[in-house]
Structure 1
């Protein structure tokens, strides 16, 4: 049943991405607009959506489940980090190796994963999703800069500051405070926040679509490297997550969400870091493009396997 739901949801999300492609190809979304829209999604719409979902659904029993989700997320990211150290693809250039390692460490769980999980599980799913993504968000910038520019060495104080000021983590903290505060969020304000939060799915997928519209040069060598990346990023890591979460006793809903999030395509921030630090930005863009397109089918396969295993 959930497989069919996900299949229908993927068609909806592909429609959003298609709109983004058309807007980019026709010049209605330009490079500067992509940056603005990405900032809008990541720094405004996503935190508001997270805040609303926590305020609406928080409970003591759910907090216990979320603690298990966070533990699983940290454990999985540590295992993925060790996995990226293995010499799996020896034919990669240094620039491509940075892209591949980053793609394994950081999925596009924020821009693509959140709309998918919201479509399947509603606001409770958004809560679980964003708690699970906390380690990924930390790595997205901490590991991102060190991979694409090894000369950068951030102090522990700077790393802690960037973690504590992450918009989503701030939103979670504010929501927890609001849930124990004797003063409730005013109804008109909360209604407005809910309306803004509902814009997350279409806006995030339109942004992804506009990013996919950029020109990429293809050859057989690149396609072979990307095929291996797709296998590990979309299937290998996800199946490892499925059996690990099941092994540590995580409930079915949390296990499904964790598995789907680790089966998401390569993080689009990889292309941003590669461009910023003079890395292989074309290969990074190709990695985001191919894994995103393939994931529209691989996520449905993942869900079918999850339903059989759980």
Structure 2
């Protein structure tokens, strides 16, 4: 079941990338439009997707388990951040930034939800949304700061006021107080939020169109980053959580979230903040392709 879900999700991603690729080749997506799509994704569709993920009924048991998932996610993201500071020193600075962020951030949303859902149902999806809270807290602070090179108080304050961070707090507020938004409002939020992944894939596809085919799979750094992202970190996470004897659903959700390919959001983030968006596109492309084989392996091991 989960193998079929993984295959379907990967093929879907590549088909949308292909549309972006063709649209760029035919000059339908221009550099100016690409920048506009990036702004739309970061400031509108992603925050709506975050809010939609928290539309679950509150219960004390869910809250306690969600607290464990949150703390584990915080530990995983912090640990990945620290590890990334020591394993990419040999590479050029701009690529080192992308590799570092690909080590920290995975595509735990679009690919994570259906894979976790196929194994653990709606409860697994809820805990995945809690895991993703830390993802958004980190990506709008550490992620932006890594590309811009600015980590002063003013920059951190600006990052915390980012729409993605604000959406996290709104979502948590709605969950904790069991506030269910009116159906038309919920429907609108979900529809706008669902645009996030297609937009990301279109942006990636359009950027891949500017890369020579011979360069698409070239470079030791590309495969080194993919190995760290897809195999080393998931196996390390699984070993630690099983040694600490967390229950099966917490272990499974967190390990699968770590086992996902590099986050597609890295590409528009790099594009907006002067990072190496072309290399980020190649890394997202390769890790997504290889994840067809690595995710079932991780599921079997766990």
TMscore range, shorter length:
0.7 to 0.9
Maintained 8 Å contact 1:111/1:208: no
Aligned residues: 302
Find the counterpart in structure 2 of residue 239 from structure 1.
235
Report the Cα offset of residue 124 of structure 1.
Answer: 4.3
Listed as ranges, the matches of 1:16-95 within 5 Å are: 16-86=16-86, 88-89=87-88, 91-95=90-94
SS of corresponding position for 1:265: coil
Report the Cα offset of residue 164 of structure 1.
Answer: 8.8
Partners of 1:15 and 1:132 in 2: CA distance: 28
Find the counterpart in structure 1 of residue 132 from structure 2.
133
Maintained 8 Å contact 2:6/2:111: no
SS of corresponding position for 1:189: helix
Q: Give me the CA root mean square deviation.
A: 3.7
Match of residue 189, structure 1, among 182, 185, 191 = 185
SS of corresponding position for 1:215: coil
2:252 maps to 1:256: yes
Find the counterpart in structure 2 of residue 292 from structure 1.
288
Maintained 8 Å contact 2:141/2:156: no
What is the TM-score normalised by the length of structure 1?
Answer: 0.77
Partners of 2:269 and 2:196 in 1: CA distance: 23
Report the Cα offset of residue 73 of structure 1.
Answer: 0.6
Q: Which range moves more in the overlay, 186-195 or 64-73?
A: 186-195
2:5 maps to 1:5: yes
Q: 5+ unaligned residues in a row in structure 1: which ranges?
A: none
Q: 5+ unaligned residues in a row in structure 2: which ranges?
A: none
Distance 1:31 1:117, change over 3 A: farther
Q: CA offsets per residue over residues 254-298 of structure 1, 9 Å max, x none? A: 333322222233334544565566554543343333223323432
Distance 1:229 1:185, change over 3 A: closer
Find the counterpart in structure 1 of residue 223 from structure 2.
227
Listed as ranges, the matches of 1:97-246 within 5 Å are: 97-110=96-109, 112-114=111-113, 117=116, 124-150=123-149, 152-155=151-154, 158=157, 161-162=160-161, 166-176=165-175, 179=178, 185-197=181-193, 199=195, 202-216=198-212, 223-246=219-242
Maintained 8 Å contact 1:57/1:123: no
Distance 1:121 1:14, change over 3 A: farther
